[in-house]
Structure 1
Amino acid sequence: PTVHLGVAASAMEKRGIRTERGDLNREIEVTNQKLRQLKARISKLQNWLKEESENTEPPTLADYIQGILSRKAQTGKPGYSQSLYNLKDAAKMLNFLQTNNIMDMTGLDEKFKSMIGEQLDIQGKLKPVERRLGTLKKHLEQADIYFKCKGKKPLTEAEQILFTTAKDYLKGIMNGKTTIPTKTWKEEYTKLTAERKTLNQRYLALKEEVKEAEKIRKSVYSILRQEQREQQPHRKQDMER
């Protein structure tokens, strides 16, 4: 705030005569103006920082790993297993982390567990499909024997045994129905065969993905452990200073 001029100093200032208090007030006014400008600039900067923090995504695990590998490459001290010298392996690892948006080790572990879970889920879906296909195969085999032997005269002893066995089998599964649903069984068998093929393909592909993910997971752990070991001496030195 400015100082009170007083009657005499005020009169002199009005006549154009500079006074000590008048000069002080002018200096205060200039300072106040600079402070207002500075405050406005700080406010603007704070708003910009807030916007940047909202728009900037935190670094991912891939960013962190890439930074470590880049630093090692620049210093000429890789220090990691030979597999990590391979650019193809490193690119594959970083691509996996980026594609799955893995932010940290917890995210990596969760991704790995979800892949294992999906693998188990496919196994769970395959089991009933396999069982049903086995059942349908037997239904169709017995129906085929039944229709081949039915009405054939005379039947050999072996054929008669096969016919009787097939007839009894079909009677046991028909639940009182008289029409054998051969067409329905064949359609279901074809559909389930295609489903089994799809599940098997996904299972085999996922098996390879899990294998690759496990390799990546071990590599990431190895890099982070070594980075931690290398950082410990620096932290100790900083504490001793």
Structure 2
Amino acid sequence: MPIPCPHFKITIVKRSQGHSAVAGAAYQSGERLFSEYDQKTKFYNKKKELVHAEVMLPSHAPPGFADRATLWNAVEAVENQWNSQLARRIVLAFPVEVPKEQYLSMIQEFCQEQFVSKGMIADFAIHDKGDGNPHAHILLTLRAMDEHGKWLPKARKVYDLDENGERILLPSGNWKCHKENTVDWNDQKYAEIWRHSWETITNRYLEAAGRPERVDLRSFERQGIQQIPTVHLGPAAHQMEKRGVETFLGNLNRDIRAANSLMQSIRSAIRGLQRWIADLTEKKQLLLDALEKAKEPTLSDLLVDYFNLRNEQRSDWSGKAKLKCTVRDFEEVKRAVDYLKAHSLNTVEDLNAAIKDLSQTAAPLRKQLKLNENRMRAIAQIKDAAAVHAKLKPVHDTFIKKNFNLTKDAYAAQHKDELDAFNKAVRTLMKLNGSTAVNFSALDAEFSALQSGSAELRTQLETLQPDISALKNIRKYIDMVLNKQQLSAPGGKTPEKESVLKKLEEAKAAQFQKKAEQKNHTQEL
């Protein structure tokens, strides 16, 4: 039983973007920390939501680094470039289904197993406002340390060698070389490893708590879930939606949810019919043997048997009630028989083929609807990113024109949020549009066409609903004949009636016993 994918975000604290490791530590711990780099005190009051803060050290780290001010000032001192990467930040969510008192052991186990044991220092803090969003912040060092607690270089120069093992001299007179990282902590594979580790720990604690829910940190696509993801609203649109003001992204999300609901409904109905027809096929031969018929019963025959069975169940009812229900059953069976005749469905194989055709008809419609909605979602993201790009480009251009590191750092710190938003918009545009230049007219026309196409696809899917409903009713009637469900008698009592399959088993057992007795009798003679 899955639960919504929890938050697990990995970022790098970069000085080039105005970030500070000391400020990050002060924010998550709620402590007042002085930064020796910019000679400023960092303080963010987090007392109300702070549950626990702790620095976990590997065995060879200096004990003094247990003090986070000492630790992160030392980090910022050794990272002396204007564009240095200072730390790695991870923000992850705790499942509310796990008791709160176990959050600390969960995060300690995670940090020790994945970071501290590898030589990283982990500074973590648990936050919980009581609003149903308990989470943890983790700051990790990026440099390795030697056995004496001294920071090691992040990378080293390695000379390239030829086939004879000799260094290669370049025309410039320099030796050909390349840079190698001293540790592989920045390898992208670790993002997957860390997510999987947190998923494993979380699920283990959920199981220990006796909860049926499980966490899966993979995307919908990797989980095999045919569901269209919604669009992130952002704070402005979210607040407008909370006030009851409809937004473009909000309307798009509502369309996506409606499409997901429709696709899930049809997919579930078809899967149910497919499972039932498979089960019915298995029981068909047993039914034929029991009834000792030379030919397969038709679906119409089974529906007539259903009608007769209903009448038998009401043998002790009053005349008026019996007549009323008989008329109703007759109308239901007539509609079912008419459907079978209209679609030339006579046997179980015909019914199986009809369900298969229905599935094959719905599948491409669902697939195209998903493609349309995903593209509409991408267009919305492109337009949103383009608006941010246009708005913040002057800020970014000014930042680029700064020639001196100190003024550039100061400007980056002052306009951190704007520069972060601009860079994010650029990444979005390059990923989804291939360029920061956006043709709004073409996108609007494409969006309108996709919207119309999706509406038509939903209409086509909805037209399949009557067929699905008819097939489900036929399934119910035939199931009753096979006694897969019992009818309730008047007054809520269930009549005791042996199932057809049970009778078949008893008949086979009696026949087997009779043959055994005849064999024994022959041997005695």
Higher relative contact order (CA 8 A, sep 6+): 1
Give 1 or 2: higher strand fraction. Answer: 2
Q: TM-score, normalised by structure 1?
A: 0.49
Which is higher, the Rg of structure 1 or of structure 2? 1
Q: TM-score, normalised by structure 2?
A: 0.26
